[in-house]
Amino acid sequence: MPQFRVVTDPDDPAVAPFRAIKERDLVGREGLFIAEGETVLRAFVRDAPERVVSLLIDPKRQDKLAQVFEGLPDETPVHFADQAVLDAIAGFHLHRGVLAVGRKPEPIAARDLLAGLPERAVVLVLCGIANHDNIGGIYRNAAAFGADAVVLDADCCDPLYRKAIRVSVGAVLSVPTARLERGEDIAQLLAATGFEGLALSPSASEILAHLKPAPRTAVLLGAEGPGLTPEVMARARTIGIPMANGFDSLNVATTSGIVLHHLRFAQG
Cα separation, 74 vs 196, whole angstroms:
44
pLDDT at residue 261 in the model: 96
Lay out the sheet containing 196-200: strands in order across.
177-179, 149-152, 121-127, 216-222, 196-200, 237-239
Q: What's the pTM?
A: 0.93
Helices 132-144 & 252-266 angle (0-180, nearest 10): 10
pLDDT at residue 263 in the model: 94
Query: Which residues, given as ranges, of the chain have pLDDT below 70?
Result: 26-27, 267-268
Please say whether the beta carbons of 18 and 89 come within 8 A.
Answer: yes
Would you give the distance in Å from CA 70 to the centre of its chain? 25
pLDDT in tens, 10-42: 999 999 999 989 887 766 778 899 999 999 999
Question: What's the Rg (C-alpha) of the chain?
Answer: 20
